[in-house]
């Protein structure tokens, strides 16, 4: 009976190993920390954006961050060296709508009293060519540590322009 147990144990170990090896190809792979953060503000035609996703691409690596409640964006673990940048307000549209609904639900109420003040922050779209880093023309150099870069997008085309 001990031979049967050993054989069964070996068979189970082989199945477990094969399963683990097969699953290993889909397992998440840790990306090395760059030790770099890119942060600042984003303006379009002189007007500060409050809702957008910022994408930083360089050296085959990509990192993203969003504009926060304070109007500033922050991209942690950003690629270092020369990078290209994309700004996509539509990627943050859900957050804008959620904030608007929450502000509306918190104001007025059934009796028209109490609650938070409605937000005056509006959603601003920009030309689609700025959505993707490789098309935007926005570039900077990111060093280890914190790099500040205020993204300035000129108002040279209509928001739907490409």
Question: Per residue in 46-67, pLDDT tens?
Answer: 999 999 999 999 999 999 999 9
Are 109 and 136 part of one and the same domain?
yes
pLDDT at 157: 52
Please tell me whether residues 45 and 20 are part of one structural domain. no
Range of the domain at 108: 33-153
Neighbouring C-beta atoms of residue 132, cutoff 10 Å? 15
Q: Is residue 159 part of a domain?
A: no
Q: How many domains does the chain have?
A: 2
Percent of the chain with pLDDT over 70: 67
- Please check whether residues 49 and 24 belong to one and the same domain: no
Domain identity same for 86 and 145: yes
Q: What is the pLDDT of residues 84-138, one digit of tens each?
A: 999 999 998 888 778 777 776 555 555 555 555 555 677 888 999 999 999 999 9
Q: Is 51 exposed, middle or buried (0-12, 13-18, 19+ CB in 10 A)?
A: buried
Which pLDDT score is estimated for 13? Answer: 45
Is 162 inside a domain boundary?
no
CATH number of the domain to which 92 belongs: 2.60.40.10
């Amino acid at each position: 009976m001990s031979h049967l147990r050993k054989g069964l144990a070996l068979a189970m170990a082989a199945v477990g190993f094969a399963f683990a090896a097969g699953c290993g190809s889909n397992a998440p792979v840790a990306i090395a920390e760059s030790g770099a953060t890119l942060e600042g503000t984003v303006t379009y035609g002189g007007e500060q954006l409050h809702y957008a996703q910022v994408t930083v691409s360089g050296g085959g690596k990509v990192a993203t961050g969003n504009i926060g409640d304070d109007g500033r964006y922050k991209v942690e673990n950003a690629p270092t060296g020369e990078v290209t940048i994309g700004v996509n307000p539509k990627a943050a549209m859900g957050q804008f709508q959620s904030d608007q609904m929450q502000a509306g639900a918190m104001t007025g109420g059934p009796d028209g009293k109490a609650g938070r003040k409605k937000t005056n922050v509006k959603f601003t779209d920009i030309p689609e060519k700025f959505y993707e880093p490789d098309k935007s023309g926005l570039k900077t150099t990111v060093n280890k540590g914190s790099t500040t870069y205020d993204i300035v997008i000129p108002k040279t085309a209509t928001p739907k322009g490409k």
